[in-house]
Amino acid sequence: MNKQPFYFTWSHQSISAPFPVESAEHDEFVLADGQRVYDFISTSFQTNFGHSNSIIRKRLRSQLDHMPIASPKATFALKSAVSEQLIDRLGLPGGKIFYTVSGSESVENALKMARQSSGRTMILARQKSYHGASLGALSVTGDWRNASHFTVDNHTVRIPEPADDPDLSQTRQIVLDTGPEKIAAVILEPVSGTNGVVVPSQRWFDQIQALCKEFQLLLIVDEVLCGFGRTGPDFAFQEFGLQPDFVCMSKGISGGYIPFGAVWTGPRVVDFYDRAIMACGLTSYAHPLGLAALDGVLEQLSDRSFQKNKTDLEAVFERAMKDFASLKPVSHVRYRGLLAAIDIVDRGAPSWEQCFENGLHLHSKNNTLILAPPLISQPARLVAALDRLKSLFSETSIATG
Ligand SMILES: Cc1ncc(COP(=O)(O)O)c(C=O)c1O
């Protein structure tokens, strides 16, 4: 039984406390008994810049002393400067940022803005995807704020996974059957996260973009997990040359130091809100501490030695993933940048507990292990963690050198 005065998320409450953590440093947790555990999944994919990042911590401390709280409608230098820098980093034409406090709320607000600005209600979403935990709180809201957005029920249409519809012929038929004039947007993770690190082909992305153009569907890319360097480039959509109308961000946006999120909206949406009331908002909109953390994250991303180290880590990781793919208990390995899924044949996988007892904190579900090491880890430490993981499989010796 859970004897704690709080719930455990996404789990049966009868689990014992999975890890009684005492503190965290750099790329590892320190447990109550002093054991050190490598954070192989960047906590929940947010600790891209580690647990002791001096730049982000410094920015937060000074913002706390200077102005820790601001009205959602306030203008101040940090808000303007950081928004401009983020838009530059996205490399998309112009646009504006809508701030949130989590990934779910970034997605939620992108959906609301897509519906409101297009006047259409349906959303196309992939069969295997995760976009957040909020259940469309607005569908139960009973005042003027609901009217622009319709309810969520029955407004999602599933499209096949890229491998099941490589030329998008089924997806196109789904659009035609649904009625393109009813579809507001397509939402997708460029590289899926906990659903197995699926990397669609360039052809699939090109055709998605073409479909959006043909039927004037808005494109929402969910970069909550991939954004801020996880899959290689700053944002995964950049690798595939996508031209989205919305980019949903969270997790790495503050490195996990403070709950924060953002949605970039493109010129089409900006034009709409130049003429219509923005029927979206949050009490902690553009929270100064979130902005301060983002400022630190952007500085960290611009740092050459950070980028060089990240490239070195990616090379180590790629070599190791190729090696893991040749192990007997492994059926498939998919990876991009510092994100990987390792599928394991029946019962060949080390359990989550086994990994944890051996000093590795990772994601393990349905015979798939997911790895996402902090981008500030050192190559030698990553090699050691990969070696330890490999030793938990039946075969040994990993060529990561
Ligand atoms: C791709 C993606 N979108 C949205 C979310 C939701 O983010 P949050 O848990 O911050 O609400 C997640 C969380 O894991 C995610 O991976």
**CA–CA dist 83, 264 (Å, integer):** 10
Q: Measure 391 CA to ligand 1 centroid, in angstroms.
A: 31
Kindly list the structural domains of the chain, giving each domain's residue range(s) and its CATH number in brackets, ordered by start.
Answer: 21-52+305-391 (3.90.1150.10), 67-302 (3.40.640.10)
Burial class (CB in 10 A: 0-12, 13-18, 19+), 330: buried
**What is the atom index within ligand 1 of the atom nearest the CA of 226?**
1
| Spatial contact of 257 and 50, defined as CB atoms under 8 Å apart | no
Q: How far apart are CA 375 and CA 392, in angstroms?
A: 24
pLDDT of residue 396: 35
pLDDT recorded at residue 135: 67
In angstroms, the CA 371 to CA 27 distance is: 13
CA 238-243-246 angle, 5° bins: 95
Give the three-state DSSP class for 25: strand
DSSP code, position 251: G
Residues in the chain with pLDDT < 70?
Answer: 1, 16-17, 135-153, 394-401
State the distance between the two ends of the chain, measured CA to CA, in whole angstroms. Answer: 45
Residues 45 and 379 sit within 8 Å (Cβ to Cβ): no
- The binding-site residues of ligand 1, defined as CB within 6 angstroms of any ligand atom, are 102-104, 107, 130-133, 189, 193, 222, 224-225, 250
Q: Which of 161, 166, 86, 178 is nearest to 126 (CA)?
A: 161
Q: Which of 106, 109, 225, 253 to mutate to test the pocket of ligand 1 (most atoms within 8 A of CB)?
A: 225
- The residue whose CA has the least distance to atom 8 of ligand 1 is 103
Closest CA to 344 of 329, 366, 354: 329
Instruction: Give residue-wise pLDDT tens across range 200-246.
Output: 999 999 999 999 999 999 999 999 999 999 999 999 999 999 999 99
Atom from ligand 1 closest to the CA of residue 251: 10
pTM confidence score: 0.95
Ligand 1 atom index nearest CA of 133: 11
Q: How is residue 17 annotated by DSSP?
A: P
Q: Whose CA is nearest to atom 10 of ligand 1?
A: 103
Question: Tens digit of pLDDT for each residue in 66-104?
Answer: 999 999 999 999 999 999 999 999 999 899 999 999 999
